[in-house]
Chain A
Amino acid sequence: MAHVLSVDAQIDYTTERIRARLQEEGMTSLQRLGSVFTGQYPDRMPLYIILDEEWCAHYIGYQINEEFASNPKKLAHAALVGCDRLKSDFCDAFLDCYVIGPDAMGAKVYFPEDSLPEIIDPPVKSPADLAKLRIPDPHKDGRLPVALELVQICQEKIGDVVPILASICGPFSWAANLRGIYDYLADLKRNPRFAHDLLDICTEACKEVIKAYLNIGVMPFLADATASTYLISPRQVEEYALASYEKLMADLGPNTFSGIGWSEYETQVQAFQKVPALRAFGINNYRYCQNDAGAVEAEVLEGKRLARQHGVNYLPSLWGRWVAGHTPQEIEAEVARVIGLAGPEWPFMVGLWSVPVGCPIENVDAYIRAAIKYGTFVPSAVA
């Protein structure tokens, strides 16, 4: 689909639409989320929608290829459209974060048809390869400058009214992607010294990227899904991942990242017990079990229990892949059900996580309507 306007004009047009909508609503997304976190009533339920990166690009007609993934303006256009069309209270400026860091350090990437890249050949085959690794310069190496410019554009256009969700790869996942996830997990027992040495290098690399984001006024979100008790033990989470976060915070200060993303509750609890600053992020569920209604109930109740136990907020989410495959009526019923299970102390919002390419817009709209209709807000629930 050809765009009549230039990308710059598209970005400005979309920015105007976002600002006009927020002005009409009477509250910016920053104010809306800020009011919730300070125990006041927002004007409506905040919407927390995290899309698979390609969703917006496809929605507005971009072909996903190396050119698109290397064009910060097109990427920013896609991120802003997501925020505009879906009224999300976060702008998801999220460029294949698990790949882009290792890519800048020599990982060979492959672009599947009409999809963002994957690592096809991890560069670290043995301990001898560690000496060949170079800490990347986020302003020069690989596509890191693209990610930085993408976030900068979003921050400049709407950062004063909408929080920018800028994800970067966490150190453990970074190490795993440089080594190959299977081999890195094997190394944890096979050669722990090697695993630690690689993690140390990736922690330094992550630190440089964090500094670059902080310099443009955006606190990044660390995506570190590999460092989760879905894959590794709580002891390994502590020994590797949490130690790397502590190092980052020791070097850069406590306000270093806006949150950390893992899949499992156990890791989240472990993390904020060890790193109290992470308590503000609360307990989130990103699990993929929505196909099993009983498992969803168990998961939501467990999330609530842990949140109550530790005195933090709880944010349930629907799984985008489930939403993609069900009807608007089923989606509304599921939102109501999850909110019913999670309430009445929570939630103030139900997120929508990982909306895949091809998910019909009608389904996302159904989620939005239901989230606003059924979302409850209890000021006393705010930790």
Chain B
Amino acid sequence: MSAQQILDQLSQAIVDGEMEHTGLLAEEAVKAQVPAEEIVRVASMAMKRTGQLYESKEYFVADLIASAEAMKPVLQVVEPLIAANKGAAIGRVVIGTVQGDVHDIGKNLVATVLQTAGFEVHDLGINVPAKVFAEKALELDADVVGASAYTSTALAYQRDILTELNKAAPGRFKYVVGGAPTHAEWARNIGADGWAADAWETVKLVTQLVELRRATVAV
């Protein structure tokens, strides 16, 4: 198979959520001398195609999850190569579900899509106290912190996280929120830097915020 054929098959396997094939196809692409960055670019376009199918209601959340899971073996193959080539991530993101909340579907999808887009993502998991978001952001010198909440009782913790971030290092981090009960007005009310409706909008938002942050914060 030619390199292009391998990449075409890889792209389709991601869109189809064929988790058992994508790792092998990524390895085949590497053997065929395809640069790791090109493999990631093709994979990223495939995830974007998945998002478009979701927007057009041909795909559902379960399909997005299948594609995200199909991405993971690809990332496992290419990330060491990118690190070895000293390719820098576009930005560093700390993400998690807030304290008192165990919902993680959206957060997991966002994390995978951000990784695919070239971000270094540190997923703190679920039920994460506000202080831990701040501690990790400081430890990792994150560009952006993202907090997901699904339940109304947990929503208030999104405000607490910003308080902790500003206590740790005022104005140093960019902060975005998401989750089913959230919306742009909520994000503005609590002083967050942004809110996005889905994983792909999150990539655009986080890219802008990283550029803004790196232009204003001395690294």
Report which A residues bind B (CB closer than 8 A): 52, 54, 110, 112-115, 118-120, 181-182, 185-186, 188-190, 229-233, 236, 288, 291, 321, 324, 356-358
Q: Given A52-B152, A189-B17, A357-B153: A231 and B60 within 8 A (CB)? A: yes
Q: When the two chains form their complex, are residues A186 and B65 in contact, meaning their CB atoms are under 8 A apart? A: yes
Enumerate chain A residues within 8 angstroms of B154, measured Cβ to Cβ: 112
Enumerate chain B residues within 8 angstroms of A52, measured Cβ to Cβ: 152
Q: When the two chains form their complex, are residues B181 and A288 in contact, meaning their CB atoms are under 8 A apart? A: yes
Per the bound structure, the CA–CA distance linking A356 and B151 in Å amounts to 9
Q: Given A112-B153, A118-B101: A186 and B66 within 8 A (CB)? A: yes
Q: When the two chains form their complex, are residues B152 and A233 in contact, meaning their CB atoms are under 8 A apart? A: no
Q: How far is the CB of A232 from chain B (nearest CB, A)?
A: 5
B42 within 8 A of A: no
Q: How far is the CB of B124 from chain A (nearest CB, A)?
A: 15
Q: Given A118-B102, A321-B181: A231 and B127 within 8 A (CB)? A: no
- Chain B: CB-nearest residue to A115: B153
The 10 closest A-B pairs by CB, nearest first: A112-B100, A356-B152, A189-B66, A185-B62, A231-B61, A118-B102, A232-B62, A189-B17, A233-B60, A185-B65
Q: When the two chains form their complex, are residues B102 and A120 in contact, meaning their CB atoms are under 8 A apart? A: yes
Q: When the two chains form their complex, are residues A182 and B105 in contact, meaning their CB atoms are under 8 A apart? A: yes
Q: When the two chains form their complex, are residues A119 and B102 in contact, meaning their CB atoms are under 8 A apart? A: yes
Q: When the two chains form their complex, are residues B127 and A232 in contact, meaning their CB atoms are under 8 A apart? A: no
Q: Which of B167-219 contact A (CB under 8 A)?
A: 180-181, 183, 185
Enumerate chain A residues within 8 angstroms of B116, measured Cβ to Cβ: none
Mark B55-73 against chain A: 1 for CB-CB distance below 8 A, else 0.
0000111110110010000
Q: When the two chains form their complex, are residues B61 and A185 in contact, meaning their CB atoms are under 8 A apart? A: yes
Q: How far is the CB of A79 from chain B (nearest CB, A)?
A: 19
Pick from A186, A229, A357: contact of B152, CB below 8 A: A357
B82 within 8 A of A: no
Pick from B60, B99, B105, B153: contact of A356, CB below 8 A: B153
Per the bound structure, the CA–CA distance linking A356 and B69 in Å amounts to 34
Enumerate chain B residues within 8 angstroms of A288, measured Cβ to Cβ: 180-181
Q: When the two chains form their complex, are residues A189 and B102 in contact, meaning their CB atoms are under 8 A apart? A: no
Pick from A110, A112, A182, A358: contact of B65, CB below 8 A: A182
Mark B92-123 against chain A: 1 for CB-CB distance below 8 A, else 0.
00000001111111001000000000000000
Q: How many A-B residue pairs have CB under 8 A?
A: 78
Q: How far is the CB of A114 from chain B (nearest CB, A)?
A: 8
Enumerate chain A residues within 8 angstroms of B100, measured Cβ to Cβ: 112-113, 115, 118
Q: When the two chains form their complex, are residues A189 and B180 in contact, meaning their CB atoms are under 8 A apart? A: no
Q: How far is the CB of A46 from chain B (nearest CB, A)?
A: 26
B30 within 8 A of A: no
Q: Given A181-B105, A185-B105, A186-B69: A110 and B127 within 8 A (CB)? A: yes
Q: When the two chains form their complex, are residues B19 and A190 in contact, meaning their CB atoms are under 8 A apart? A: yes
Q: How far is the CB of A326 from chain B (nearest CB, A)?
A: 12
Enumerate chain A residues within 8 angstroms of B66, measured Cβ to Cβ: 185-186, 188-190
Q: When the two chains form their complex, are residues B108 and A182 in contact, meaning their CB atoms are under 8 A apart? A: yes
Interface size class, chain B = 20 to 34
Enumerate chain A residues within 8 angstroms of B60, measured Cβ to Cβ: 229-233, 236
User: What are 16 A-B residue pairs whose CB atoms fall within 8 Å in the complex?
Assistant: A110-B102, A113-B100, A118-B102, A119-B102, A185-B62, A185-B66, A186-B62, A188-B66, A189-B19, A189-B62, A231-B61, A233-B60, A236-B60, A321-B152, A321-B181, A358-B152
Enumerate chain B residues within 8 angstroms of A188, measured Cβ to Cβ: 62, 66
Enumerate chain A residues within 8 angstroms of B19, measured Cβ to Cβ: 186, 189-190
Q: When the two chains form their complex, are residues B62 and A231 in contact, meaning their CB atoms are under 8 A apart? A: yes
Q: When the two chains form their complex, are residues A236 and B62 in contact, meaning their CB atoms are under 8 A apart? A: yes
Enumerate chain A residues within 8 angstroms of B151, measured Cβ to Cβ: 115
Enumerate chain A residues within 8 angstroms of B153, measured Cβ to Cβ: 54, 112, 114-115, 356-357
Enumerate chain A residues within 8 angstroms of B105, measured Cβ to Cβ: 181-182, 185, 231
- Chain B: CB-nearest residue to A319: B181
Pick from A54, A112, A189: contact of B99, CB below 8 A: A112
Q: Which of B69, B101, B180 has the most CB of A within 10 A?
A: B69
Q: How far is the CB of A257 from chain B (nearest CB, A)?
A: 24
Q: How far is the CB of A179 from chain B (nearest CB, A)?
A: 12
Pick from B17, B61, B102, B183: contact of A232, CB below 8 A: B61
Q: Which of B148-164 contact A (CB under 8 A)?
A: 151-154
Q: How far is the CB of A287 from chain B (nearest CB, A)?
A: 10
Per the bound structure, the CA–CA distance linking A278 and B61 in Å amounts to 25
Q: How far is the CB of B195 from chain A (nearest CB, A)?
A: 12
Enumerate chain A residues within 8 angstroms of B185, measured Cβ to Cβ: 291
Q: When the two chains form their complex, are residues B127 and A120 in contact, meaning their CB atoms are under 8 A apart? A: yes
- Chain A: CB-nearest residue to B102: A118
Enumerate chain B residues within 8 angstroms of A324, measured Cβ to Cβ: 152
- Chain A: CB-nearest residue to B153: A115
Q: Given A182-B108, A357-B152: A291 and B62 within 8 A (CB)? A: no
Enumerate chain B residues within 8 angstroms of A231, measured Cβ to Cβ: 60-62, 105
Q: When the two chains form their complex, are residues A291 and B152 in contact, meaning their CB atoms are under 8 A apart? A: no
Enumerate chain A residues within 8 angstroms of B183, measured Cβ to Cβ: 291
Q: Which of A52, A115, A189 has the most CB of B within 10 A?
A: A189
Q: Which of B19, B59, B101, B151 has the most CB of A within 10 A?
A: B151
Per the bound structure, the CA–CA distance linking A185 and B66 in Å amounts to 8
Q: Given A182-B108, A189-B19, A357-B152: A233 and B62 within 8 A (CB)? A: yes
